[in-house]
Amino acid sequence: MSIEHTIFIQPPDENVRVWRYMSFTKLISLLESQCLFFSRADKLGDPFEGSLPIFNIFLRNASIAMFPPSKRAKNSKVKEDESNIMKLIRKHVAVNCWHMNNEESAAMWKLYMKGNEGTAIQSTYKKLKDSISDAKQIYLGMVKYIDYLRDQIETNIMLSPFMYKRKSYEHEREVRALITDLQVDNMWKNDLFKETIQEGRKIQVDMGVLIETIYVAPYSPVWFEELVRSVVKKYGFNFKIKHSRLDESPLF
């Protein structure tokens, strides 16, 4: 169940296309489970996931100096605890990522394709949102790209840091679906030391609503496209299958 929240910015046009580039084996897993896999935030590969920009850290440390010397040690410990809490929260948040673009992305093919046997699921933002049939609360929105040396983010909402990434990732144009097992509105009721999410979590979706087209990687052989068609049919679906246009020959 997709829910709205102020920190999850929606695109101006919900019919914008979104893409998930994946290996053939991950496509089979998707068709088999009819679930999207949400990876735990601290296992996404970016050490900055869920962290704060340096200016936020500066403000947190500067606030200690406002206390009398007799109370600074105690408040310094509180700030240290806040830092540890931020690290622990990542173990309780899981993410599913999509690329927002009305066209195919050569960069994303290269990033996620091993060899020439990759695939891409093409949907729209609205269909992605409407396809989520799981009873769990799912947050969905666009990632914002900032300079972690100069910019500042709001910190009064626990999930806010997970919707920001460094500008060096801006090419990803990421749409992010997010789940958490924490009580977002009452942080102190949570047991952060109890890991309830291991590698990640599978969230059920309506495949008929989600998938508009399955694209086969550029430069992939004919037999691979036929295999994709066969597997899709085997699982009882009739999605459109298209070969990537990125390997078309130019006309001079």
Per-residue model confidence (pLDDT) at position 227 = 97
Confidence label for 189 from pLDDT (cuts 50, 70 and 90): low
Residue at 252 is within a domain: no
Assess whether pLDDT exceeds 50 at residue 50.
Answer: yes
Q: How many domains does the chain have?
A: 1
Is 197 within a domain?
A: yes
Question: Quick one: average pLDDT of 38-63?
Answer: 87
| pTM higher than 0.85 | yes
Asked whether the predicted pLDDT for residue 67 surpasses 90, the reply is no
Note whether residue 53 is domain-resident.
yes
Residue 173 lies in a domain: yes
Q: How far apart are CA 108 and CA 99, in angstroms?
A: 8
d(CA 107, CA 124) in angstroms, rounded, equals 19
**Domain hosting residue 170, numbered range:** 2-247
pLDDT in tens, 124-179: 999 999 999 876 789 999 999 999 999 999 887 889 999 999 999 999 999 999 99
> Is residue 74 situated within a structural domain?
yes
How far apart are the C-alpha atoms of 21 and 99, rounded to whole Å? 8
For position 154, what pLDDT does the model report?
Answer: 86
Of residues 204 and 117, the one with the higher pLDDT is 204
DSSP states of 130-152 as a string?
HHB--SS-EEEEE-EEE-TTT--
**How far apart (Å, rounded) are the C-alpha atoms in residues 193 and 71?**
28
Range with lowest mean pLDDT among 80-84, 85-89, 137-141, 222-226: 80-84
> For residue range 198-214, what is the model confidence (pLDDT) as tens digits?
899 999 999 999 999 99
Residue 151: inside a domain: yes
